Amino acid sequence: MTSVNTSGSSLKITGGRLFDGYSEERDNTALLIRDGRIAAIGEAAAREDADEIIHAGNSVISPGFVDLCCNLREPGNGQKGNIASETLAAAHGGFTTVCASPETSPVNDSSAVTHLIRDGAASRSPIRVLPVGAITRGLEGDLLSDMAGLAAAGCVAVGNGSRGVRNARILRRCMAYAQTFGLTVMFSPENQALAADGYAHDGLVTSRLGLLGIPEVAETAAVMEMLLLAEETGVRLHLSQLSCGRSVEMLRDARRRGIAVTADVALHQLVFTEDALAGFDSRFHVRPPLRSESDRKALIAGVRDGVIDAIVSQHQPHDTAAKQAPMAATEPGLSSIESVLSLGLELVEMNELALPDLIRALTTGPAAVLGRTARLEEGETADICLFDPDAFWTPDSKTLVSAGRHAPVTHRELPGVVRLTLSEGRKAWPQTAG
């Protein structure tokens, strides 16, 4: 990726409000970036000279966002996006690190595919891409993948994407094997037999519209099973994309009992409910499904008190045809990574979430799940997002970068404009010509 700041040159950001998940807000300070690292902060930075100086004004300076669940669609047939298009979209959304879901074509279940993703990212991504390996071969849920090999090739965790594992016995063996190598396992809790051919929350809206429901218990039964198996095997378990209030309760109890479990929630689960499907809007066909208002409230409370560690984009870009059909025939997922921050800021505006909680769940929370840090201190990697929470933008085909056009909100003004995304000190967004 071409960039303005070649290593060796320096950049100083003055003013602004500094937030990270560790310390209190620091206002009107300075940040010096040199050689891809934060060279100085505060007084020390203010005194230094730099090749380029950016005045942050009222913008917020936070660590670059970390996404535990993103679909880059590469390898794949290219119709739904690729590493270049989707990582640029991520940078537009303020992300500097994304975990690449193993649900690619072919599936990332071998070190060869992992290398393919890493090589693609090295040459075409403005931000850091961390592959997640498939825990079962072909994500079929039957046979173990070469997990040790995947980890050696650079996978930061193993999981089964949005797909389930055949049964509890295989799940138990997946966990036991992953635990052998100290790998974190990521699972979307869904009991396949209970979810059956459903595609929407089994509740008021499905009853009225005659959609096929996925009952809440399809998730909660799986959460309980996974928590018990994690407790028994001692594996580090990460529950991906919770959707039910009851799951948050069980998670809270498990943590209290000392089980090594973390969890995330997709941002759209905090904003939308089953009502979004009322007009048969296939965009909001997502998995797990959007559930009830009380679930939404409980998930937000989980983020607020930290029981849910991370907010993810669960970015799933699609070609138009994949979304233009009656709901049952469409593919699940939103093209969401560019609106995570903005929709999160709307929650802040509505007093549902505090800004520090939002930033923590987008930075230090997910980083810790991966055993990484995301803090604004001297010596840290300069992964930084600078955004103006009071500026507005309108997502539409002109402003959106992702190949997927099905953003959750379009043609309406949203707060929060990302002014600058720095990945290891290099400008990932905005892209400058040359």
Give the residues lining the site for other proteins (CB under 8 A).
Answer: 202-204, 206-213, 215, 271-273, 275-276, 278-284, 321, 324-329, 408-409
413: which DSSP letter? -
Please report which helix (H) or strand (E) contains residue 415, including its range: strand 414-423
User: Shortest distance, CB of residue 143 to other proteins, whole angstroms?
Assistant: 28
In eight-state DSSP terms, residue 135 is S
Q: Closest CB to other proteins among 280 and 392? A: 280
Provide the minimum distance between the beta carbon of 275 and other proteins in the complex, in angstroms, as a whole number. 5
Quickly list H helices, 97-211: 111-124, 147-153, 168-180, 192-195, 204-209
Select 202 or 424, whichever has its Cβ closest to other proteins: 202
User: Under 8 Å CB-to-CB from 221, ≥6 apart: which residues?
Assistant: 191, 194
Residue nearer to other proteins on the CB measure, 53 or 278? 278
Nearest CB to other proteins, comparing residues 172 and 406: 406
CB of 221 to other proteins, least distance (A): 16
Q: Which tokens hold the place of 3?
A: 């960039």
Q: What angle do CA 250, 363, 337 make, to 5 degrees?
A: 90
CB 1 within 8 A of CB 125: yes
Nearest approach in angstroms of CB 247 to other proteins is 18
Query: How far, in whole angstroms, is CA 149 from its chain's centroid?
Result: 25
Which residue in 162, 156, 126, 148 sits closest to 366, CA to CA?
156
Cα–Cα distance list, 421 to 94, 122, 128, 283 (Å)? 6, 17, 12, 28
Q: How many CB atoms lie within 10 A of CB 301?
A: 16
Between 279 and 434, CB nearer to other proteins: 279
User: Closer to other proteins at the Cβ: 122 or 278?
Assistant: 278
Q: Give bridge partners of residue 287 from the DSSP assignment.
A: none
In the complex, least distance from residue 353 CB atom to other proteins, rounded to whole angstroms: 14
CB of 346 to other proteins, least distance (A): 9
Residue 21 or residue 203: which is nearer to other proteins going by CB?
Answer: 203
| Shortest CB 160 distance to other proteins, Å | 26
324-358 b/e with 16+ CB inside 10 Å = b? eeebeebbbbbbbbbbbbbbbbbbbeeebbebebb
Smallest separation (angstroms) from other proteins to the CB of 29: 36
Nearer to other proteins, 167 or 207 (CB): 207
